[in-house]
Structure 1
Amino acid sequence: MTDSFNSNFLHLNLPSSTGFGVSVAPLVLFSILDHHLRKDDAQPRVIGALLGFRSEDGSEVEVRNCFPLSHNEAEDQQVAIDTEYLAQMYSLHQRINTREVIVGWYSSGVEINENSVWIHEFFANETAPLAPVHLVMDTTLSNDKLGVRSYISSPIGISGGPDQTPGSMFTQIPCEVKYCDVERSGLDVISLAKSNPDSASSLLSDMDNLERSIYQIQDMIETVANYVDRVLDRSEVENNVIGRHLMDIITAVPRIDAGEFEKTFNSHLQDLLMVVYLAGLTRTQLAIAERLQNLV
């Protein structure tokens, strides 16, 4: 079953700063990109539903999940959405996570057209009485990056045709990618693929992770030291906010002798190597026991 719409709305797109804000989980971005890569060449864009949480006043939206939708867009501004599929997918998702609700919809591409007004109006009925959020992912890689923008819509008193239908204005709102420590680790592993010829990356061992963390800390310390040196020689204007943050960091680190720190670090490193050795030994013993069991 599908819902069809005939749009003669006037569309305006005026970026502005509002009291609204949207945070998006990395999983949502990967799902949208996967949906776009699997679309037909003749299909101009893909759309889907966004699920997540809202603040009590509805101004803050956290997008945690999404699922694709089947739709058709014609040149005469006819839009069809499979509402039965939407209802079934949302019902199945509610069985897994009852707290996540529909908060808006997404589309791939770089622009918002007249059909977006009707699709947004359709999702407004799903999110009523709160306004839906429209997330646009720039899959054309303009400006050499995968841009993500979010919008809300409000009616305006401009005629859209002979029937004097009012128009809608899409206003851009702040959008940021929000992730936890576990997701950050996964993103770090995925980012390693960009420097490999085959665009693939594997999980790092404990020692490789330790080495990578040490190099990252060293780079951050060098960045801070260079900033402090530039401020001291007056080549850069000091920033009181950064200075307070640096002071908080310095006071949070306990004073310890360099030799004692090296001794403690080597001790913990030996403990880590022992754990890695015992894990490998246990894995080998289990493999030998499994083969002996098969022979018996």
Structure 2
Amino acid sequence: NSFCTLLLRGRIPDFKPVVRRPSAFELRPPHERPQPHTQRIMDDPRDLADDTHAAEEPEQGDDAPSSSSPSASRGLIPTAVDVHPLVLLSVVDHFTRINAKSSVSKRVVGLLLGNVVKGADGEPRLDINSCFAVPFDESRKEPAVWFLDVNYAEEMWQMHKKVQPRIKVVGWYSSGPDIGVNDVDVHLLVAERFCPNPIYCIVNADPAKKGAPVAAYMASESRGSNVAVEFRNVHTNLGTVEAEEIGIEHLLRDLTDSTVSTLSTKVEDRHVALLQLETMLGTIETYLNDVANDRLPVNPEILELLQEATNIAPVVHQLKTSPGMLVATNDNALATMLASMARTVTALYDVIVNRRQLRRAALEKQKAQEEEKKKKADEEAKKKSQDRADDADDVKKA
């Protein structure tokens, strides 16, 4: 239905299925290709201070450099990415609307808007504060066949540009849950039509899947593999402003269940974190096995990071027999037990007080009903006696 609607509106007059083949990026000479992120990140990020100011300045007329110019793209090389809650809410709403009447979940795609700002440490950070959906479809049997309505995306970007001239197209998003087969082709298309160095964000739109809500990636030249471009993870944070924090607090008031205790929430968070840690450790184990079996080349940067993570890990096997650790654990358990007992006693006291109030209210109501009945009975008796007296007077007069 969406394809028919787009065809009737004239959105895609020359639509052709996009089959996996050497892309325009791969067919270009090496000196004409857009430079990947890693070549700029390896330089000193402080050199981008002037580019940050250039990215924050508003555009002036048609002569101002567009977001696809090299000078603008240099400012979009951040050391970290901040994603606002409004972006996550928009992606989840897009995913829910598309899959409302579908038995099989479809992946959704859109463009990310934002700009480069200076962080507290003076380093450039990519601030993603808005986004919009783009019609996208792909074949389940042949993942290499897909369609992205670029004309619609350009029209939406022009409308956003009129309202917010300072923001730029900084990348694209999808609902994942993982990197797809055709994501490299979509990424190269976005890099060719909108911004040379886009950020790719995968947003977890399924509430049943616990874990990080968003993960950001950037494209770089592959090292030692048959793929020209590969994705590498970027440090991602959730950034908010004061207005967004207030809105999130109001939303949490409606979504948070007051019957769930804080302890159970903490346990669930620890469980999710441990599952995520287990997944990461499994990925590291797979990578090390592939390197040991000569299926992947040795990367000194990754090995250095693994060695650093191993060095800062606590020595758990020595702490297990430490008396101090046992004493601290027992003290924490005792404090938790006393707090639980106090909370239980307080709850029981509230129940007892509530039952007494209900009983007192029931007795007062019963007493009022009895008094009302007695008053009515007295009035009826008095009325009957008065009627009898009147009848007797009438008899005497007769």
Q: TM-score, normalised by structure 1?
A: 0.56
Tell me if the contact between 1:109 and 1:140 (Cα under 8 Å) persists in the aligned partners: no
Deviation of residue 79 (structure 1)?
Answer: 1.5
Once the two structures are superposed, what CA deviation does each residue of 1:183-226 show, in whole Å capped at 9, x if it has no partner? 111111111122359xxxxxxxxxxxxxxxxxxxxxxxxxxxxx
What is aligned with 1:155? 221
In structure 2, do the counterparts of structure 1 residues 191 and 21 end up closer, same or farther at CA, with 3 Å as the change threshold?
Answer: same
Once the two structures are superposed, what CA deviation does each residue of 1:87-129 show, in whole Å capped at 9, x if it has no partner? 1100100110011110000000320011111111111113444
Tell me if the contact between 2:91 and 2:205 (Cα under 8 Å) persists in the aligned partners: no
Tell me if the contact between 2:218 and 2:232 (Cα under 8 Å) persists in the aligned partners: yes
What is aligned with 1:116? 183
Once the two structures are superposed, what CA deviation does each residue of 1:10-52 show, in whole Å capped at 9, x if it has no partner? xxxxxxx987311011111100000000114245210000001
Deviation of residue 158 (structure 1)?
Answer: 5.5
What is aligned with 1:194? 255
Q: In structure 1, what is the Cα distance between the partners aligned to 2:252 and 2:211?
A: 14
Determine helix, strand or coil for the equivalent of 1:109.
Answer: coil
Q: In structure 2, what is the Cα distance between the partners aligned to 1:63 and 1:142?
A: 25
Instruction: Please state if 1:62 is matched with 2:127.
Output: yes
Task: Write the letter of the residue equivalent to 1:71.
Answer: F
The structure whose residues are more often helix, as a share, is 2
Q: In structure 2, what is the Cα distance between the partners aligned to 1:144 and 1:113?
A: 20
> Which of 70, 76, 83 is the aligned partner of 2:150?
83
Deviation of residue 167 (structure 1)?
Answer: 3.2
The structure whose residues are more often strand, as a share, is 1
Determine helix, strand or coil for the equivalent of 2:184.
Answer: helix
In structure 2, do the counterparts of structure 1 residues 83 and 3 end up closer, same or farther at CA, with 3 Å as the change threshold?
Answer: farther
Unaligned runs of 5+ in 1: 10-16, 161-165, 198-233, 237-296
Task: Write the letter of the residue equivalent to 2:115.
Answer: F
Deviation of residue 65 (structure 1)?
Answer: 0.7
> Which of 91, 94, 97 is the aligned partner of 1:38?
97
Q: In structure 2, what is the Cα distance between the partners aligned to 1:54 and 1:170?
A: 21
Q: In structure 1, what is the Cα distance between the partners aligned to 2:117 and 2:193?
A: 17
In structure 2, do the counterparts of structure 1 residues 143 and 80 end up closer, same or farther at CA, with 3 Å as the change threshold?
Answer: closer
Determine helix, strand or coil for the equivalent of 2:93.
Answer: helix
Deviation of residue 3 (structure 1)?
Answer: 6.9
Tell me if the contact between 2:169 and 2:195 (Cα under 8 Å) persists in the aligned partners: no
> Which of 21, 46, 53 is the aligned partner of 2:115?
53
What is aligned with 2:79? 20
- Counterpart mapping for 1:1-296 below 5 A: 1=12, 2=15, 4-7=17-20, 20-40=79-99, 41=102, 42=104, 44-55=106-117, 60-74=125-139, 75-76=141-142, 77-129=144-196, 131-141=197-207, 144-145=210-211, 147-156=213-222, 160=226, 166-196=227-257
Q: In structure 1, what is the Cα distance between the partners aligned to 2:208 and 2:80?
A: 24
Aligned pair count reads 187
Task: Write the letter of the residue equivalent to 2:137.
Answer: N
Q: In structure 2, what is the Cα distance between the partners aligned to 1:145 and 1:157?
A: 29
Q: In structure 2, what is the Cα distance between the partners aligned to 1:159 and 1:109?
A: 23
What is aligned with 1:239? none
In structure 2, do the counterparts of structure 1 residues 100 and 116 end up closer, same or farther at CA, with 3 Å as the change threshold?
Answer: same
In structure 2, do the counterparts of structure 1 residues 83 and 184 end up closer, same or farther at CA, with 3 Å as the change threshold?
Answer: same
Q: Percent identity?
A: 24
Unaligned runs of 5+ in 2: 1-11, 23-40, 43-77, 259-326, 330-398
- Highest RCO, 1 vs 2 (Cα 8 Å, sep ≥ 6): 1
CA RMSD of aligned residues (A): 3.1
Q: In structure 2, what is the Cα distance between the partners aligned to 1:196 and 1:55?
A: 37
Task: Write the letter of the residue equivalent to 2:111.
Answer: A
Deviation of residue 137 (structure 1)?
Answer: 1.0
Determine helix, strand or coil for the equivalent of 2:222.
Answer: strand
